[in-house]
Amino acid sequence: MIKVVGIQMGATGSKENNIEKARKLIDECLILKPNIICLPELFTYLPSQSDQVNEVSSLAEEKNGSVSQMLSEYAKKSGSYILGGSFMHSFRSSIYNTAFLYNDSGEIIAEYSKIHLFDTKDYQESKFITAGEKIALVETKFGLIGIMICYDIRFPELARTLALKGADIILCPAAFPIASPSPGIDHWQILTRAIALQNMVYVMAVNQFGYRDPFYFFGRSCLIDPWGIEVSSAQNKECLFVGEIDLDYMSSMREIRSPLMHRKPHLYQL
């Protein structure tokens, strides 16, 4: 069994306060001795639509900046893999929404910059962020892990691509809101389950919780098994949630009934 712990928190304050909150919650994680820890999207600072671009850009960090060093140290200390949710990553004069995965030695073994940016009438993520252009899939002692971020879950092509490349687990940090007229909670539950069921993978989706102009982030972080069944979920507050991933169970389910075995790729492009 692979023990996973998700950190459901709201980055509703200053960068310093958000990092301090994350530290306290990671410290609580260590007591549980998890194999994998996942934080939510933009856990160090979640831009509001009223923020100024230059001010937000000044909060971005390089790949090996202080936040990355913190996560690396925690990974080494705990002997856990840590997906550092995501944070604003400064690279070659652009700002990306990037998730870094650290192994139990504190090394960065994967990075993923969000491909699909959330642009609506209410909020334009592209105001602050440049879209990434590469998928992320990495072999670990816990199987092949793929990474998606929030709005990516509305694009089945990405999840299917990860599955076809052999993903066993998809980690999805998010800041998924109630954004009228979309029924956010319903969409979140449908999409996370659909990704797991259609691709026969485990999905661990870790959401923000709380209010940040202009949205309310409802949490509902969850671990979904390859049958689309919720294994565990977070309470309606900032908290940790714990689940177990059983790759042997996943393999047996794939042998019994996997839609991936019955694809007709000659009839469609993906």
Tokens at 136, concatenated:
């992320």
Question: How far is residue 76's CA from residue 90's CA, in Å, rounded to a whole number?
Answer: 24
Q: What is the CATH number for 177?
A: 3.60.110.10
From residue 224, alpha-carbon distances to 109, 129, 230, 243 in Å are 24, 29, 4, 9
pLDDT of 34: 97
Residue 198's φ and ψ, nearest 5 degrees, are -70, -25
pLDDT of 183: 80
Contacts for 95 with CB less than 8 Å, ≥ 6 apart: 56, 57, 60, 88, 89, 128, 129, 130
Question: How far is residue 118's CA from residue 77's CA, in Å, rounded to a whole number?
Answer: 35
pLDDT of 62: 95
| Three-state secondary-structure class, residue 191 | helix
Q: What is the CA radius of gyration of the chain?
A: 17
Cα 92 versus chain centre, distance: 24
pLDDT of 270: 60
Q: Could you state, in chain order, the average pLDDT of each consecutive group of 10 residues for the chain (270 residues)?
A: 98 96 96 97 93 91 96 96 97 96 98 95 90 97 97 97 97 91 88 97 97 92 97 96 97 89 86
- Structural domain including 41 reads 2-267
| Three-state secondary-structure class, residue 2 | strand
Question: How far is residue 151's CA from residue 118's CA, in Å, rounded to a whole number?
Answer: 6
pLDDT of 40: 98
Q: How many domains does the chain have?
A: 1
Consecutive H or E run containing 199: helix 184-199
Whether the Cβ atoms of residue 207 and residue 218 lie closer than 8 Å to each other:
yes
pLDDT of 107: 98
Give residue for tokens 């209410």: 122
Sheet holding 222-224, edge to edge: 137-140, 143-147, 169-173, 202-206, 222-224, 230-233
pLDDT of 179: 76
Question: In terms of Cα–Cα distance, which of 67, 175, 179, 61 is closest to 114?
Answer: 175
